[in-house]
Amino acid sequence: MQVIDLTHTLETGMPVFPGSEPASLIKLTDFESAGYNETLLHLSAHTGTHIDCGRHFFRDGFDTAGTPPARFIGKGLVIDCRQGITKSRLQLYEKKIENSGFVLLFTGWSRFWGRNEYMKGFPVPDLEAARYLTRFKLRGIGTDAISFDPVETHDYMVHKILLAAGMVLIENLVGLEDLPVEGFLFCCFPLKIAGGDGSPVRAVGIVGSRE
């Protein structure tokens, strides 16, 4: 069994969605002065590799605390979307999507992490592609970009289409190129936050699992 890490490291000054609260990790104590280390995390629930829950855009949407853990694990499928995320592209994988729990959209954008390019021009599903994905019994959709909608959006329609269908959205994945197209287990367990509209996650792909 091989466990492949798909998660960016949480650290002070890391990239965040434009307008979001900057992330900072503040050392409260250290081993030398107190005999132990303790760190205060100051960050949005939507920092780094994280999930969006229905509560992010809908008053009565599902949240991180009230959702069973099984919702955040399932059979994964990687779709190469470096040339765009369209219905016609996704249809090439239709049978595989039908047998998957999570579809991970490999855009290749994680290579720009930490650079200005990461925040602009990344591939997002068009509305037809987003609606097409809601036809399946998927638990979630992931991307290795900052968002499922362009940074300059005002309506977040792709988010709303997918979240309204009950899907978990995973953003800022990394290392999708290290996964096989299929035949792996994807995990993205969030913190159990009361009313949580999202949470940082340790996303992994498990290759060689019997599940």
Ordered DSSP codes for 91-112: HTTHHHHHT-SEEEEE-SGGGG
**What are the CA-CA distances from residue 4 to residues 16, 138, 207 (Å)?**
23, 21, 8
CA separation for the pair 46, 92 (Å, rounded): 31
pTM passes above 0.85: yes
Token duo for residue 126:
């068009």
Helix (H, G, I), strand (E, B) or coil at 8: coil
Token duo for residue 131:
């609606």
pLDDT confidence of residue 209: 61
User: Residues near 127 by Cβ (< 8 Å), separated by ≥ 6?
Assistant: 157, 158, 161
Neighbouring C-beta atoms of residue 202, cutoff 10 Å? 13
CA separation for the pair 91, 23 (Å, rounded): 38
Burial (CB count within 10 angstroms: exposed 0-12, middle 13-18, buried 19+), residue 189: middle
pLDDT confidence of residue 210: 62
Token duo for residue 179:
């996964």
What structural domains does the chain harbor? 2-207 (3.50.30.50)
Tens-of-pLDDT digits for all 211 residues of the chain? 999 999 999 999 999 999 999 999 999 999 999 999 999 999 999 999 999 999 999 999 999 999 999 999 999 999 999 999 999 999 999 999 999 999 999 999 999 999 999 999 999 999 999 999 999 999 999 999 999 999 999 999 999 999 999 999 999 999 999 999 999 999 999 999 999 999 999 999 999 866 5
Largest CA distance in the chain: 60
Token duo for residue 26:
């503040």
CA separation for the pair 194, 191 (Å, rounded): 9
